[in-house]
Chains A and B, each alone.
Chain A
Amino acid sequence: MVLKAEETKNRLKNLLKDPLLLFTILVIFASIAIFILFPLFKVFAVSLTDRAGNFSMDAYQSALQNRYMRQGFFNSLLVAGLTALFGMLVGYLFAYTVNRTDIPLKGFFRTVAVLPIVFPPFIGALSFIMLFGFNGLITAGIFGYRNFPVYGLWGLMIVQVVSFFPVAFITLDGVIGTISPTLEDAAFNLGANRFQAFRKVILPMSIPGIASTMLVLFIESLADFGNPLILAGSKFPVLSVQAYLQITGMYDTRGGAALAIWLLLPSIIVFILQKYWVGKKKYITVTGKPTTSVLKSVNKPVKWILFAGCMFFAVFILTIYATIFWGAFVKAWGMNNTLTLENFKYVFDVGLGAILDTLTIALTSTPISALLGMVIAFLLVRKVFPGRKLLEFSSLLSFAVPGTVIGIGYILAFNNPPFLLTGTLAILVFNFVFRYMPVGIQSGVALLNQVDPAIEEAAYTLGADNRQVFSRVTLPLIVPAFFSALVFAFVRAMTAISAAIFLVSARWNLVTVQILSQSDSGRLSEACAFSVILIAMILMFIFLLKLFLKNRISLSQNQVV
């Protein structure tokens, strides 16, 4: 034990000799404490006090006694479980098909599989109602059927699968794409048929990806606010909406905080379960010795079945897009289908400020979020320092925390000095940075675990310090994770609603909030026009990024994969 103490001392001395590393770690710890832990603590604290500020469980008790609230709790879990399963399956279908077959239209499928991300969360639901609802284009317009059950469990689940499966696709695409085809060759060579090779090699190797994907989807669904607000209906209450209504409708902060805690607990439990299950699996498939092989994972019939599956979902997704696009150009959906540009004129008259605000906030928070994610992934996977486990847990925590909870936490935490941020740009930027960083961390960690540590060690022995190793070796090697984090963070910042709806102000407003209020007041076409503009900005960003990547990074990306 004395010897161990000396080793620890040596380790600390090493850390002190690298002030940049030490500084980075300290700054990250401090900001996570302030922007993730402190707001959560405030939610707990408020939910556990009564009006006079004394300790009390009243808020929980009244939440439990309410049958409606209890029902909401179970509904939330049910939808989340189903969305996790089906979303993962659809994501896997796309990721596998695109990476392991030689079907035509791969680029098309790749694009379609990330497109739903650019939907503001509840626009999927809006479009779903425009298609299948009372005045639905398909149900009422084509089949003359006005009572199609779009509201409730199945409608909500389908919309959530469509909205969230891209997250599954992005993760699984990274995982399956980095599994070397030579491993399948080896399995074939050992006498496996194609199905066995899939079941015994590809599937087990993608288990960590599948697990983390389902973790993402479960928590996304649980935290989803926009879709249930529109689609759940009064007969199918879900927790996130109830918590919001409690605060904004009844001005009951403590009750809202208590509901937020009920929403938080299952998320955290799933998060921890998965974390320790996924954490045990680790595969190194990228070493310094790259390999190449021809794709031969599936036979012809299976290939076309997979193709048909992807095509079905692709058409479904595009229909939803088209609906919003079309809706933006008609006078009144379902009633007066005359084409017009007036909706856009209205949007620019009323919402130009919100559009510029949204862009400013997204462009500020995105690069910080993605880069911070990669730095933390690097520290977590490659560095040993005191508190590493704590850093890992708390930096991923904000990801397990539903936006509603974070939103409530932020208004409680940053309403007073020393952190008086209410109504500022900063509160939105910080919120987005720390809220969307975990996805970057996760994909960075996943990719980094597949990179042979010797490659970075080689850089150290060649004289590179931590900063140089990170910028010259690690970052280029995990560049796919970095850019997927960048895209993800940007899109989420642009389409954020669940936490942001608590944080917007007269000075800083968001397009998503505009869309919500437009559709709330029945101006569906105006809401669609806002959405089209939002989607256009997101697509433009992705397009520009891709253009940049094509010239700069594509080579190194190929090297890694």
Chain B
Amino acid sequence: MSLVLNHVRKVFSAYGGETVAVDDFYQEIQPGQLVTLLGPSGCGKTTTLRIIAGFEIPTSGRVLLEEKDVTNLPPNRRNVSMVFQSYALFPHLSVRENVAFGLKLKKMNRGKMQQKMQQMVELVGLKGLENRRPDQLSGGQQQRVALARSLVMEPGVLLFDEPLSNLDAKLRESMRLEIRRIQQEVQITSVYVTHDQVEAMSISDIIVVMNQGKIMQIGSPYEIYARPQNAFVADFIGRVNFLEGKLTSNQNGVAHVAVPSLDLSIVGHCSPGLQEGQAVKVVLRPESLSEEKRSRENSLTGKIEKFVFLGSSVEYELRLPDGELFNAVTFNPVEQKLPTVGKDVQLHFSTQSAWVIPA
């Protein structure tokens, strides 16, 4: 089912003041897509989710489900289901009764209900636990019940409110793969809220990065990471270095940037809209730098301040000539020698990996 948030805005008034929780949120979500709302806490992602669910009424703007305006429909008439951070299982009901809860309300006949319930319990891997009560299940199992309980309704849109944040790291990893598998298996339109960027990257078709109620960028995980549109997104997703400079030319997205503090000229990529002479930032991911030159057009030098050996990689902290710190990472360190603190190194990076954004 398609979902459109049409210029949704939500203002909370408290203690005499007003807080804009969600500001002019516009996004069309295609059927079967999993869209993640990602951002720091308080950025409005949960409010947006609760607006879709119908728990919050937007101050302005509309919510459209399959092109039908549902802005004023109560949650129970929206064909939208939600998986909660706290699981929110009915503590007085068994797994079976939890999963069948919505079906019973639909007055589905017993045989069919039993069959669907069983099918769903198997899909989420809870076979044999049907008669347990929530307090007899582990966190992961509880979240599976919550998922089954929502999925069995075959909702038009499935909402996830930080569903994995109460689980331990390992379980979180396997559960997010599981959620993605199930989501693709049943092809259900989903909106997923998280503040965990790795979770967002691994699970999403589209990521919406939010900050202070505003959409900072919408894109695929690749676009969000490799082609951030602003410093917030670049900084929020993954680790990043910024070099500040001035755009000297922009020809079909190939940019030349002068970085006066390092006396450098960098060739990179940028979005076509940037104007020559404009102040810009060059976004450099730590892993895009290498001591090997090969076909890398750009380079900079720095002194190794410290490094951390992480087994599969080594993380450096370099001091650049202008005094700024700079992060770099190299992989497969066993094959190379470990770096020496205090040593000057020259690092190279390619045109593709230097991404230029407005300052």
Contacts and interface: CB of A to CB of B under 8 A. Distances in A.
Nearest to A8: B57
A193 B9 CA distance: 50
Nearest to A473: B90
Given A3-B59, A14-B74, A463-B102, A458 B92 contact: no
A461 B82 contact: yes
B135 A462 contact: no
Contacts, number: 127
Interface string B46-70: 0000000111011110000000000
B75 A6 contact: no
Given A14-B57, A460-B75, A462-B150, A455 B135 contact: no
B236 to A, nearest CB: 27
Given A14-B57, A461-B82, A288 B102 contact: no
Contacts of A11: 57
A559 interface: yes
Given A454-B84, A457-B82, A559-B133, A463 B105 contact: yes
A452 B153 CA distance: 22
Interface string A525-558: 0000000000000000000000000000001100
A6 B60 contact: yes
B257 interface: no
A11 B56 CA distance: 9
Interface string B224-246: 00000000000000000000000
Interface centre among A3, A457, A458, A556 (most CB of B within 10 A): A458
B336 interface: no
B252 interface: no
Q: How large is the interface on A (under 10, 10 to 19, 20 to 34, 35 or more residues)?
A: 35 or more
A518 B231 CA distance: 86
Interface centre among B9, B57, B60, B92 (most CB of A within 10 A): B92
B109 interface: no
Contact of B92 (A291, A464, A477): A477
B106 interface: yes
Contacts of B58: 7, 10
B92 A461 contact: no
Given A458-B149, A462-B149, A560-B91, A289 B139 contact: yes
A23 to B, nearest CB: 15
B81 interface: yes
B74 A460 contact: yes
Given A7-B58, A14-B57, A460-B54, 6 more contacts: A3-B60, A17-B74, A289-B86, A289-B87, A459-B101, A559-B134
Interface of A: 3-4, 6-7, 10-11, 13-14, 17-18, 286-292, 452, 454-455, 457-465, 468, 472-473, 476-477, 555-556, 559-560
26 contacts: A3-B11, A4-B13, A7-B11, A7-B58, A10-B72, A14-B72, A17-B74, A289-B139, A290-B91, A290-B134, A457-B84, A457-B88, A459-B90, A460-B54, A460-B76, A462-B102, A463-B102, A463-B153, A465-B76, A473-B90, A477-B92, A555-B92, A559-B92, A559-B135, A560-B91, A560-B92
